[in-house]
Structure 1
Amino acid sequence: MKTVIVWSSPNQKGLTGTAKEQFLSGLKIADTDYLEIHLNKMKIEHCRSCGNGWGLCASKGQCVIKDDFSDIYQELINADGIVFVSAVYWHDMTEHMKALIDRLRRCETAHNHFLSGKRCFLIACAGGTGLGAVECLHNMEESIKHMDMRAYDRIPVTRFNKDYILPALQRAGELYGVRLKEGFDMQY
């Protein structure tokens, strides 16, 4: 079983990077293969809304932009599990995460449906006041629902709850790895 962890934050050692590492350590305990994709190190352009709003994404399930999107998309298609970890900016995902998800959504909903039914894990990390983590998770879940993917769980991480949430993320990663192998106990 392979899990792809897609994460976005310019600060690799900050709250988001630490949360990602905790979840990853749980996957390792469950002996789950993984691939880590740090979007801030990738070239991901924003959707151009070509072709009057729908270009090759609608007709062929492909994007005309030549960047790292198609390689990331293929890794997600091949994955058994997907984890999205984002820093929170203005109550939402980072711009890097939004760019990826917007383009995924266009290819998936209009044509491909390759990600349909995948069980995802969502983590939103809000520094500062911690406000916005829940709204960010909501936006992440709404985005994956458009692609018929399902959130297995959603975890808000803030500087106020990190002392107990970060250790819980390790256990969450371990159980997610186990569920990937043994099956999910979800009805939807």
Structure 2
Amino acid sequence: MHKIVAILGSPHINGNGAFALDCILKGAKEKGAIFLKYELSKINIKNCLGCRKCVENGGVCVLKDDFTEIFENIKTADTVIISSPIYINQVNGYTKTFLDRCYPLTDKYHKPRFGKRNVIMLCTYGAPIPFIFSKYIRNTGKSLKAMGLVNNRNIIIHGCTTIDKVKNDVKLQSKLISIGKNI
């Protein structure tokens, strides 16, 4: 059975990123996948200290918070979906903190410590220009490779000037469900 860990970085748990993520998960569930969904704005994840103790401790972080559960589930996942709004040309603070805390997935040689898993980056933003942040999103995905998080798909939804853009776009919902079915 395909296991998905879904990360919602947006504080808008009923917003565009959340609804888009739910559409993907709906499609995946229809094909028999199981998933765990984490809403970062609702849980306690401390900022990475940059102490590198995780490198020395076999991937165990010195910080004790809600990230420990997420981390353990990522290690056994087939796919990780990271949904984040783009704020000021990059993922928002919740998502950045999450990404920083994924560092224990790499070893001292910057190789994946726990194997590889597929990553889908799902990003929403308000600018009406398609693909304006695609280079940034692509580079963010590439930076995860050393951790074994292989970015194999980016989903970019632009023009999210209202919180219900995705809810009102049936064609987009259908596309997202189809993506979920093909994970």
TM-score (norm. length: structure 1): 0.81
Structure 1: how far apart are the matches of 2:137 and 2:67? 22
Structure 2: how far apart are the matches of 1:167 and 1:98? 29
Q: What is the deviation of 1:135?
A: 4.0
What secondary structure sits across from 1:123 in the alignment? strand
Q: Tell me the equivalent position of 2:106.
A: 109
Q: Tell me the equivalent position of 2:64.
A: 66
User: Residues 165 and 91 (structure 1 numbering): CA distance in 2 closer, same or farther, change over 3 Å?
Assistant: farther
Structure 2: how far apart are the matches of 1:89 and 1:139? 16
Q: Tell me the equivalent position of 1:172.
A: 179
Q: What is the deviation of 1:96?
A: 1.2
**Which of 160-169 and 143-152 deviates more?**
160-169
Matched, 1:152 2:152: yes
Count matched residues: 171
In 2, are the aligned partners of 1:46 and 1:99 still within 8 Å (CA)? yes
Q: Tell me the equivalent position of 2:31.
A: 30
What is the alpha-carbon root mean square deviation over aligned residues? 2.2
- Structure 1: state its 5+ residue gaps: 177-188
TM-score (norm. length: structure 2): 0.83
Structure 1: how far apart are the matches of 2:114 and 2:128? 34
Structure 2: how far apart are the matches of 1:147 and 1:78? 14
What amino acid does structure 1 have at the position aligned with 2:157? V
Structure 2: how far apart are the matches of 1:34 and 1:16? 17
More helix by share: 1
- Structure 2: state its 5+ residue gaps: none
